Structure 1
């Protein structure tokens, strides 16, 4: 029953939109308003876009695919009214209007929802049976903003089922609820998907409008910070007039050609619903462009939508695409509800006639027109026979949001009634009387609503009025016969940490045939193999790089490593620099071939020295043994014997006592040996000088001088060694770095300076001995060892001069081997050069070992 209006009616100023002709009306005690977006285009005279291939006409062009949104709202209201557990004795009704993707028509449709049924009287409530409690809409963020601008004044809740990318803080004053996750969640989802598949070299295509600008400003820096680079970023203008269409199509086809040429295999598309209609011109592929397989990653608002003139287009270019959609589930009864739809089912459905004609490409008979061009609609056509781009039988994410929105309003009304009845229950004829409740009161109950829908999903809002839900990851499967399927292959959960938010069943994904069902790669260049790290290319994004082999001691055990990993001290890098292997302990041991050979040489020379010493002792009374002080010969032989034996101290694992004895024993024993050689040389010189008449050198010839030389020279070396042991003594140590694959056990010299002082002093003694022997080489030959000593000291000095560079240039156990070799070689040189000629006479030519024979040889040589 109409009541008296209390305000002056407002005048409609948007009559050109005529949205009242495209309404879906169902009366009830409470009305849920619906504003959908299906009608895309009208004639050019109304300044709306029209495809250049579409003939001008006065009939609106519908996006038939989104007719399901209308049916989802009707289905949800039908279920609520049939459910005796929710709002008993109360009937929900709904009014649905189209926004035409136009601000003016959106405003008018919103005002129509606020007006009395069948009258356009804004700001009036003239019918108690038209109580608007909430509005479900709209599909695009721009439409939602226009609706919110009107509803905010009336404090009526809006449940937005589509994109919310433009809903920012400036709209928080309005009672709005988001049935889809915020756009920022989707940005993170796309990022996690790219990182999951390691697609770091991508192309980006966005509409050149406010939504596209928000995407570029918010999402692309996020991608870049997480290692994603861009081959190119293209903004496609959004055209609104026929005159702009041709230019935009040419531009899009140029972009398509660029996409096919570029190396990146992944293209991220972002835009609202109408953007896909614009990008549908991708399907008009220029003949000169060779199509290639690409992975299209699309935002939740994008879908394959076809208009009537696109019926025969091949959508294979989008095969294997991945898209984010609002989460949906299977609702029992909804497929059957769709199957029962027909033009005769509900006369109040203002959408179904135009939907039917454009979806099935037919015409209904018209009494005003005698002849029908084309096929005639029978009304018996089946929705399930329509291709996916025209209509889907499975519930889409947007339809699922609408379904949940209706149930959320119903549960909120139920909660509001329960709250009211506690204080003042009002019943009239068994029906609830909530008409006196103001729309803004429902807002509180919507915020706290929580229930499980018929699919088993929980529906509740967070403190920001956003539905606690996520996204489904959909794989588009397009068959050669143009059939279109959406396969759910993953999910994004917004309640878990970002790195765990996206889960994908990769085995379920059907890639484009170009990739032969192998996961596509999308990188600027080939991945750096194991053992190689990235090396930046000058002037290129960081995703474009060269690969450099890891340096010594470092590895790269993963693909595309930024830096090589340093192996730990006890490990070394493998030959391919792809793993760290444990180092093995190394020292010169008696089990090594080198250690065995050096041991054999040391023992052999020791036995030879002992044999020479025994020979000299056995023939100690012979002239050749007595010559040049036989006691010095004995001392020299014993010191040489010890020299050969001290080489054994350098073989085997280094221990505390061994390290203390190695260098000190070597230094002192060799000092004694060289001192003996020096004493022998001086004795020879003094002996020949003392034979001259009136010489005063006789008093210097004797054991006292030679003993003094040996003791004084050895004492100096012993003092150096004592200082060494007292200050910085040698100690067992490990060398982790000298040899790449080994942990070298060694004796640390403690003080390198004192070590070289020991060697330097030995070199000084050897040089003095060599100089004195060299000066005495021309003395008479009989019993003269000067020549042999000169040659022996030449060998000795040569060995130790070559020792220093050899020692410094070797590493690990070979340093020890070099020192042992020098000890053995220099000792053998002294033994051979000084004592071999004498042993030859003693053993092989004993007849020459007497004074007369030696003197005779001297005379014969003269």
Structure 2
């Protein structure tokens, strides 16, 4: 329906012949014959052109004559009587009916108060009297359109205008309307004739478009700023899951669209969006109410006009919904009628700045019964307020003049928090200043105004764009779009000490401040159900640090599941969309919300395992030294002399070094320790095996020497034995030097074996060098083992080949098992396996080769004789 009406308005602009109500084109010139008039000069007046209105005029609710007349349009009623046209009689004028808005009546009376105040002023328009024509638009686009034509044409049914019937009426500017939709219709009609319209309550951002509405001004901020304020208000309390309802009008549709755009950028999701209008069938309004009742969103943002909100709240009151936190636009958040619904307690929203207008309350209360009876609108208000009637009525008592309006509690008399009334007040003063600048001049310190001047609305429009003044401490000016500087108060519905719901200012929104500083809350708020804690309205609870959001399929982005971060990754903020890995040398804590340096692991001297290995290593070295001392002390005894004492001492020395070299594997690896541990191990073990090999060869040569005609010992005497040991050891030294020169071992941080810690170890450098060292040791050990096996059954008592065989068997077994254990052992246990292999093989050698001899020397001295050793059993 509204679309059709808007198209009709466009037709008025494009096709002047179209008639709706009373238009400028309802004026038709007719030539009337008149009898000749003879003047003093004998001249005869020609026939006169008569211009007359063809439609039925609409009477204003309030009017008075003046030198310059200002129009007014307010929504005092919310409905109109349905008119059925039968096309047989002239259509009548649609009349207003339905709910009565005492608040808008106050707005209209505020306009009258401002005009009378200006008429009594000696500074603004001195000597000039302003008149007014104020209409009730009934919140109806057709009625608002009719009012616009009425303001354009005037009320005289017949008038003469020098043969020109296309001139506008006496209104030079207008104040209104109270809604965006009727204001759009009125502005489209007044605009082509340059008649400015200054609205006090039309907030649709679309009205800032000067191409469509060139003569529109307003003293209330645009919804562009209101939508931004509401979205930031919702975001500031952490509400990301809301419901949205709005008026199905220009105000609600454009306002909600602007709000939703801002809300989307702020990450707010909307569970439902419902629209309605006060004239909709009850089923439609019930559908909106049911959506609010069954929703999971706790917060409801209502971008609704006061007249529409009344119908929705009445429907909700029939079956109150679960507690809801209402967020209101300025259209209804300060409406006293809405505050009577207790389930809206704690509502918060943006409101026009609270103000004080001195003398307004006295003016509003200065109503005599005779004055009331003379005005149909005031009479209706009076009868409704005091439940009486000026005519005989069965259901109501007669209004007898004893009613005291000063005791009346009504939106009409509520002046403690003037907000929109101040917008009306400023709109009237803005027009007055524009008229003043057009018709008044300063002469010798006095102001002279030409009230006889024919003032064109276009001149008022031009001056309105330049007004810049302050009234009662409130600044008034317009930007290029006809908008004022946006400033809102944040109001919260709180119960007073008397138990009455009232709006309390808790903060403000100032669009003139830098971005990010526009929004302030400076007072405690009361929430739904009178609670003091901020309600929660989210589709999903916030994901704590250490988790990430995963959207639920088919639902808005505010609905998600919280998934723990995978191993090695963290999220350090709430509602993180992703987890990110820690740097290579860092690892998440247990909660996976922070990265900490990975613990560095190596075989430290402080560990029990290291202490045990070190004790065993030192014990082995001490055992070798003690054995050497015993052998040195008993060096002259047959058993020591018979076992090649020189190689024995050299073997004990090398075993001591083998035991001690295991200590280089303990502690934090460094460049020198990495090179030392592997080379020392390789060289000392080759020295040790070389000595054992030498002893084995000596045994073998000694057996060969007992054969007739053999001179084997001549070829393997002490010089040859020394040369053998030195040669075998020198080869290992050469291998180690090549290894160290080409690619030596070096300390490295192993980050791959364990994800959660760093293994500080020695890299081999050249793997070929490492396995060459081990391979050479193994080769000598195998060769020695073979020779020992060959000589193990020699009959002599001094034959130690059996002991060498056992020691080599242990040695080979240890190092054969070492290889897989070394490769598979993780971290610091790799080093422990290597130390264990060194110690095990060293103990195998010293125990198998020297323990029996020491036992005989110390505990069986009777066997330590030449006779016993030479005895072949």
TM-score, reference length from structure 1: 0.81
Map 1:344-355 to 2 at 5 A.
Answer: 351-355=377-381
CA distance, structure 1, for counterparts of residue 260 and residue 788 of structure 2: 86
Q: Mark the CA change 1:617 to 1:384 in structure 2 (over 3 Å): closer, same or farther.
A: farther
Question: What is the aligned partner in structure 2 of residue 534 from structure 1?
Answer: 549
Residue 396 (structure 2) aligns with: 373
The 2-side partners of 1:375 and 1:713 are apart by 136
CA deviation map 1:521-574 (0-9, x unaligned): 111233223433323334433322222333445444443333345556676543
Aligned residue in 1 for 2:425: 403
Q: Within 5 Å, which residues of 2 pair with 1:464-475?
A: 464-475=481-492
- 1:487 is aligned to 504
- Give CA-to-partner distance per residue, 1:661-717, whole Å, 9 cap, x none: 333333333343344445555655666567666889767645566556644554454
Residue pair 1:799, 1:825 contacting (<8 A) in 2 also: no
- Shift in Å, 1:158: 1.9
1:227 and 2:257 equivalent?
no
1:132 matches 2:171:
yes
Aligned partner of 1:512 in structure 2 is 528
2:767 alignment partner in structure 1 = 753
* CA drift at 1:793: 0.6
Structure 1: runs of 5 or more not aligned: 48-56
When residues 718 and 245 of structure 1 are mapped into structure 2, their CA distance, relative to the original with a 3 A threshold, is same
Query: In the aligned structure 2, how far is the partner of 1:184 from the partner of 1:791?
Result: 93
- Aligned 8 A contact 2:551 2:557 in 1: yes
1:226 Cα deviation after fit: 3.1
Q: CA deviation at 1:99?
A: 1.5
Deviations 1:268-297 (A, max 9, x none): 2233343313312433434xxx74211122
Structure 2: how far apart are the matches of 1:212 and 1:460?
Answer: 26
Partner of 2:145: 107
How far does residue 492 in structure 1 lie from its aligned partner after superposition? Answer: 2.1
User: How many equivalent pairs are there?
Assistant: 811
Distance 1:142 1:208, change over 3 A: closer
Supply the distance in 2 between the matched residues of 1:179 and 1:706 (Cα, whole angstroms): 116
- 1:145–1:167 Cα contact (<8 Å) kept: yes
Matched, 1:258 2:281: no
Q: How far apart are 1:760 and its partner, in Å?
A: 4.3
Q: Does 1:300 align with 2:292?
A: no
Q: Which residue of 1 aligns with 2:460?
A: 442
Query: Partners of 1:679 and 1:626 in 2: how far apart?
Result: 15
Other-structure match for 1:156 = 195
2:217 corresponds to 1:205:
no
Residues 792, 833 of structure 1: 8 Å contact kept: no
Q: How does 1:29-48 map to 2 (within 5 A)?
A: 29-45=67-83
Check the 8 A contact 1:681/1:773 in 2, yes or no: yes
CA distance in 2, matches of 1:553, 1:600: 38
Secondary structure at the residue paired with 1:486? strand
1:170-185 matched pairs, under 5 angstroms? 171-172=211-212, 174-185=214-225
Q: 1:212 to 1:620 in 2, by over 3 A?
A: farther
Contact 2:735/2:773, CA 8 A, preserved across alignment: no
265-274 or 566-575: bigger deviation = 566-575
TM-score by length of 2: 0.80
Q: 1:459 aligns with which of 476, 479, 486?
A: 476
* 3-state SS in 2 of match to 1:800: helix
Q: Distance in 2 between matches of 1:134 and 1:148?
A: 11
For the structure 1 residues 681 and 93, does the alpha-carbon distance in structure 2 shift closer, same or farther, using more than 3 Å as the test?
farther
- Any idea what SS the aligned residue of 2:281 has? helix
CA RMSD of aligned residues (A): 4.3
- 1:53 alignment partner in structure 2: none
Q: Deviations over 1:166-216 (max 9, x none)?
A: 426474451222333332323322221222111112222334556555456
Match of 1:190 in 2: 230
Q: Deviations over 1:423-450 (max 9, x none)?
A: xx79999544583453223334433333
- Distance change (3 Å), C-alpha of 1:99 and 1:741: same
User: 2 CA distance for matches of 1:815 and 1:343?
Assistant: 108
Match of 1:835 among 830, 843, 850: 850
Contact kept in structure 2, 1:452 and 1:459, CA below 8 Å: yes
Shift of 1:69: 1.9
Q: Does 1:275 align with 2:308?
A: yes
Question: 1:111 & 1:762 partners in 2: Cα distance?
Answer: 115
Query: Shift in Å at residue 404 of structure 1?
Result: 2.4
User: Alpha-carbon deviation of 1:476?
Assistant: 2.2
Unaligned runs of 5+ in 2: 1-28, 30-47, 86-94
Aligned equivalents of 2:534, 2:485: Cα separation in 1: 32
Match of 2:409 among 383, 386, 389: 386
Rounded Cα–Cα distance in structure 2 between residues aligned with 1:619 and 1:251 = 113
The aligned runs of 1:809-820 (5 Å cut-off) are 809-810=826-827, 819-820=834-835
What SS does the corresponding residue of 2:767 show, helix, strand or coil?
A: helix
Change (3 A) 1:42 1:465: closer
Contact 1:720-1:754 at 8 Å conserved across structures:
no
Instruction: Please say if residues 657 and 684 of structure 2, whose CA atoms lie closer than 8 Å, have aligned partners that are also in contact.
Output: yes
Shift of 1:510: 0.9
CA contact (8 A) 2:750 2:761 kept: no
| SS, match of residue 850 in structure 2 | helix
